[in-house]
Amino acid sequence: MSLSTDKLYHEFVRWFRTGGGVRTAEQAERRLAHAYYTYARDAEDVSGENPSNLIADKFERPLSFRRSGTRQQFARQIDAAFVAFWTDVAFPILAVPPTSPPCPNVGGSGEFSSEVSSQVVNVEAGAMYKAIMPILRSSGSTAERAARRLANAMDDVTKSAVTVLITGWDTTPGPSGPYPIINTCTVF
């Protein structure tokens, strides 16, 4: 499975329409962290594996909605939560990247024979902030429209700002091979 904005959208629209039973800032923080965690579990690296060590609390810890006096502060907290959540995430080593992935394999023959590691190596700080600020500034949206815009923004940033590095060995036969090979791509 891969990332789907619908998981975020359905949670957000229910929340925006009715409040979703959220009565405190802490409940809102927990609800947002859980919604994003549920969505992110379906992320895949180029090999098609899902993250093995996602922790919802890593998204929740940077959030303190009571101290969000402005939209900018709120957006900064969401951005910090996004960065914290993806930092040090790993993917299991089950399958090798395809021969022609969307982000090219680099090194040796260009074809993996084995994978050694698949790890998030960069999460672009500020990307989530930039994506959600226009949504927070807009007014007059319906619950459905606001939920869709927020879900799309979070999905777009996740798919563009989380970089995974896969390392391994290529298919070059011995005695000279195999050679090191890498793939650097975003999650899907």
pLDDT tens digits, residue range 69-97? 899 999 999 999 999 999 999 999 999 99
Residue 68's CB: how many other CB atoms inside 10 A?
A: 16
Q: What is the pTM of this model?
A: 0.94
Q: Which pLDDT score, from 0 to 100, does residue 138 have?
A: 85
Q: What is the pLDDT of residues 29-69, one digit of tens each?
A: 999 999 999 999 999 999 999 999 999 999 999 999 998 88
Q: Where are the domains of the chain?
A: 5-186
Instruction: Look up residue 155 and give its two tokens.
Output: 């999905």
Residues 113, 96: Cα–Cα separation, whole Å:
7
Confirm if 30 and 60 have CB atoms less than 8 A apart.
yes
**Half-sphere exposure (CA, 13 Å, Cβ side) for 85?**
28
User: What's the rounded Cα separation, in Å, for the pair 51 and 64?
Assistant: 26
Of 20, 29, 89, 87, nearest to 60 (Cα)? Answer: 29
pLDDT at 101 exceeding the cut of 90: yes
In three-state secondary structure terms, 184 is strand
Torsion of CA 133, 19, 60, 68, to 10 degrees: 50
State both tokens at 4: 């789907």
